[in-house]
Amino acid sequence: MSKSLLGFTLAVTVLLFASSGNAQEQQGRRRSQAVPGKEQPHPPQVDAEAPDFELKNLKQEVVSLQKLTEQGPVVILVLRGWPGYQCPICNRQVGEFLSRKAEFRNAGASVVMIYPGPADLLADHAKEFQGAKEFPENFHYVTDPDYVFTNAWGLRWEAPRETAYPSTFVIGKDRQVKFGLTSTSHGGRASAASVLKELEKLK
């Protein structure tokens, strides 16, 4: 094969490889893009009373907002749960909050992490998401089968491969919403540091 023909062949191969890589990257980006919901979220607003809820953890123990607020402030993380896959951003967010578990304990706060999705096999998916994560006594990991909580709090994301709008709330001992942040994308979430600052204001 001549040098010119060899060079041409290599150039075409590199071009095809680059085009293939770009196509895969664009396809992955499309999969991760948030699809607009039928309705915008309408969560409880700051200073409003937070609706009570009772959700079960993976041991089938009932976790009640009313009972938790009798002990101290409550942080609520609404995850994307099971939209057909395990959400990597949710995984990072939960990991970040767990990494500062001692600070949440020192603030006297309970943390409730809510995993919503269709009831069928939701507990299995929730166990898979938990993996090797260990939740301390003041962290409560619960499921929301068929979006009972999600709908009651105005957080249902009605779109293909969506579940709930990712949200973070701080609820005071009086059960009033002290802080709330709801994202209409997969990102844009409250950090553990920002939530700890909100808890500091309650002292």
pLDDT tens, residue by residue, 15-72: 443 444 444 334 334 445 677 777 899 999 999 999 999 999 999 999 999 999 999 9
* Overall average pLDDT of the 162-166 stretch: 98
**For position 157, what pLDDT does the model report?**
97
DSSP conformational letter for 140: E
Q: Which residues is 31 bridged to in the sheet? A: none
Give kind and range of the element (H or E) at residue 169: strand 167-171
**For position 20, what pLDDT does the model report?**
41
Q: How many CB atoms lie within 10 A of CB 41?
A: 19
Q: What is the pTM of this model?
A: 0.84
Measured distance CA(196)–CA(177) in Å, rounded: 15
